Amino acid sequence: MNFGGKTRRRGKNDTEGEKRELVFKGDDQEYAYVTKLLGNGRLSAISIKGEKLRVHIRGKMRKKVWIAVGNLVLVSEREFETVKEDTDRNVDLLIRYNDEEESQLRKYGEIPDVRPKTDEGAAEEGDDADIEFNRDLEADDDSDSDNNNNIRDDDFDIDDI
């Protein structure tokens, strides 16, 4: 008997509890950490060697495997693309490792114990993160106190606004 409807299919692909075979990197593959989600099936990552990568999520993984910043992933270099100088390399996402698999890879010596440094805190072009607002508080306090002596809170009423 078919019951149709969305509620019957929920949780169908739930594989959280299942263990899978640990996959090691092969030729033209490397491990990387996700640094930024770019949208449209793309993300930015930094390889174990410290190189910046632009990662494309394959169609097989879209909307099935959820990626977050800080996840360890296995990426494969694109054979059909040439690398331009001063640009991030384009690679394809193959596997997202969970925390248990990441610790096993560390135990086998595949990845280092220390994560590579990322530019998460650094300001990008156009960001205002490097602007500092410094005020001389003593000078401002003197000028504000002169203005505040002339105007009191009792002088204003809600109807005056």
74 with 94: CB under 8 angstroms? Answer: yes
Place of tokens 């959280």: 16
> What is the pLDDT averaged over residues 43-60?
91
Contact call for residues 47 and 32 (beta carbons, < 8 A): yes
Q: What band does 35 get if pLDDT is binned at 50, 70 and 90?
A: very high
Tokens of 19: 């263990």
Tokens linked to 70: 């800080």
20-30 pLDDT tens trace: 888 899 898 99
For the whole model, what pTM was predicted?
0.62
pLDDT category, 144, cuts 50, 70, 90? low
When the pLDDT of each residue in the chain is averaged and rounded to a whole number, the result is: 76
CB 91 within 8 A of CB 56: yes
